[in-house]
Amino acid sequence: MKNLLDYNMEELMVWLKENSESSFRAKQIFSWIYKGIFSFDEMKNLPKNLKEKLNSNFKIYIPEVVDVYSSNLDGTKKMLLKLEDGNLIESVIMKYKHGNTICVSTQVGCRMGCKFCASTIEGRVRNLTSGEILGQVLRAGEVEGERISNIVLMGSGEPLDNYDNVVKFLREVNAEYGLNIGQRHITLSTCGLVPKIRDLSNEGLNVTLAISLHAFSDEKRREIMPIANKYSISEILEECRNYIEKTNRRVTFEYSLVKDINDSKEDAKALSKLLKGILCHVNLIPVNEIKENSFKRSSEKTIEDFAQILKSAGIEATVRREMGSDINAACGQLRRSYMKNKA
Ligand code: SAH
């Protein structure tokens, strides 16, 4: 049976027509779903025989909540969710002044192999469908009891390694009949799959592009990110310039600071030089220490100095405020510890 959430309006209209139903029903069905009604039987304006048809062809599957961990510090909620096939994923709800933000996963696991990241340790299990990504946002709205107004694709997985489903998801959440979340309120983070960044720039989507850079040179980057063997920083920056030109959007560079690896003043200076002249913003992320590796967080002073060097060079930089530090919120840690305990 198919998950209706994997269908968009157009596809449902086609299905309805093929099944001798009026296509306007699609709008009614989606409007119920986006009101939080996940059962066809409760969709009051649908005729009985249509409900039966829908019930025998579709289900509405929203990932199930296994656990919610709430931070006492800042209200961050980490959800451990179960998919229909039993796979577990994580999504995080963060409460910012500018609105509730959800961090969604796009794959079960990840195959990019970044050395500091917990999500990738056991590789990629599978891609999430567009409906499973959307389902995380719907579930978050329910758990939070408030509108989710911002989305970051920064959970487990590499969004551009699941390109079609991710783009379909982006259009769905943006749709007026859907959650109507503006593209400016959506950030897609990638480790830098160059051809896919080019494709994304041609989609007519104006989401914010975030690049996980983490190093100023290819040589350094290769030590922590295997993807750097495939694409060079200069190729990535060329795609960024193209993305900026097409979308008029400022690009974000993520830079996870790891003690003695990429956090020296020389690193900061070289990074400033590299990014000079690009419409961008640097997001410094003090590395989240995980027990599977020995990467250590830079000291507060080092982090401050690093940010200051960038700023002095005219590059906008902010240090990412750590959210939910009391609830083990780094990517992939929750799923891993849960699976370990079960095993
Ligand atoms: N695959 C995408 C999205 C994943 S995670 C990407 O690579 O961008 C979002 C960000 O968190 C990425 O910049 C990633 O490199 C970073 N990250 C992953 N694990 C981390 C850790 N332990 N500490 C700090 N940042 C981490």
Same domain, 242 and 308: yes
Does the structure show a pLDDT above 60 at 329?
no
Q: Name the closest-CA residue to atom 6, ligand 1.
A: 190
Handedness of CA 335, 131, 111, 318 (dihedral sign): negative
280 is in an annotated binding site: no
| 184 and 137 housed in the same domain | yes
pLDDT at 92 over 80: yes
| Same domain, residue pair 170 and 93 | yes
Close Cβ partners of 48 (under 8 Å, ≥ 6 residues apart): none
Task: pLDDT band for 184, please (50, 70, 90 cuts).
Answer: very high
* Residue 97 and residue 53 share a domain: no
Q: Residue whose CA is closest, atom 19 of ligand 1? A: 117
Mean pLDDT of 105-129: 96
Q: What is residue 332's predicted lDDT score, i.e. its pLDDT?
A: 65
- Using a pLDDT cut of 90, give the percent of the chain over it: 88
Q: What is the reported pLDDT for 328? A: 67
* Structural domain count of the chain: 2
Same domain, 211 and 262: yes
Is 117 annotated as a binding-site member? yes
Mean per-residue pLDDT over the chain, rounded: 94
The whole-number average pLDDT for the span 299-320 is 97
Q: Span 218-228, mean pLDDT? A: 97
Residue 292: its pLDDT value, please? 84
Domain boundary among 10, 44, 59: 59
Residue 320, pLDDT > 90, answer no
Q: Provide the domain limits for residue 8.
A: 2-59
Ligand 1 probe mutation, 91, 92, 104, 114, most atoms within 8 A of CB: 114
Q: Whose CA is nearest to atom 12 of ligand 1?
A: 212
Ligand 1: centre distance to CA 121 (Å): 13
Q: Whose CA is nearest to atom 11 of ligand 1?
A: 154
Do residues 51 and 69 both lie within one domain?
no
pLDDT of residue 341: 72
Residue 342's pLDDT is what? 66
Contact 183, 249 (CB under 8 A): no
CATH number for the domain spanning 166: value is 3.20.20.70
User: What distance in angstroms lies between residue 246's CA and the mean position of ligand 1's atoms?
Assistant: 26
In this prediction, residue 82 carries a pLDDT of 97
Interval between CA 183 and ligand 1 midpoint (Å): 21
240 in a known ligand binding site: no
Whether the pLDDT of residue 321 is over 80: the answer is no
25 and 99 fall within a common domain: no
Q: Residue 343: its pLDDT value, please?
A: 62
261 CA from centroid of ligand 1 (Å): 16
Please give the number of the atom of ligand 1 that sits closest to the Cα of 110: 1
Residues whose CB falls within 8 Å of the CB of residue 216, separated by 6 or more in sequence, listed in order: 233, 262, 267, 270, 271, 273, 274
User: Annotated binding residue at 213?
Assistant: yes
Mutation to probe ligand 1, out of 116, 225, 290 (largest number of atoms < 8 A from CB): 116
Domain co-membership, 237 together with 183: yes
| CATH code of the domain in which 49 resides | 1.10.150.530
Closest C-alpha to ligand 1, atom 21: 288
pLDDT at 316 over 60: yes
Ligand 1 atom closest to Cα of residue 189: 8
What is the tens place of the pLDDT at every residue in 234-252? 999 999 999 999 999 999 9
170 forms beta bridges with none
Distance from the CA of 137 to the center of ligand 1, in angstroms? 20
Best residue for ligand 1 mutational test, from 91, 154, 161, 230 (most atoms within 8 Å of Cβ): 154
Helices (H), the chain: 9-18, 25-33, 48-57, 130-144, 163-174, 194-201, 218-224, 233-247, 265-275, 300-312, 333-342
pLDDT of residue 330: 60
Q: Is 288 annotated as a binding residue?
A: yes
161 and 49 both lie in a single domain: no
* Confidence grade of residue 290 (pLDDT, cut at 50, 70, 90): confident
Residues with catalytic roles: 90, 331
Residues 122 and 88 in one domain: yes
Q: Is the pLDDT of residue 133 over 80?
A: yes
Residues with CB under 6 A from ligand 1: 112, 114, 116-117, 154, 158, 189-191, 212, 254, 256, 285, 287-288, 290, 330-331
Percentage of the residues of the chain whose pLDDT score is greater than 70: 97
- Clarify whether residues 248 and 139 are in a common domain: yes
The predicted pLDDT at position 136 comes to 98
Question: Which residues lie below 8 Å from residue 43, measured CB to CB, with a gap of 6+?
Answer: 28, 29, 32, 37, 51
CB 119 within 8 A of CB 109: yes
> Token pair for residue 112?
């990019």
Question: What are the distances in angstroms from CA 47 to CA 16, 29, 165?
Answer: 13, 12, 31
| Least confident interval from 56-70, 262-276, 317-331 | 317-331
pLDDT > 80? residue 128: yes
pLDDT reading at 339 higher than 80:
no
- 29-40 pLDDT, tens digit per residue, is 999 999 999 999
Same domain for 46 and 127? no
Distance (Å) from CA 212 to ligand 1 centroid: 7
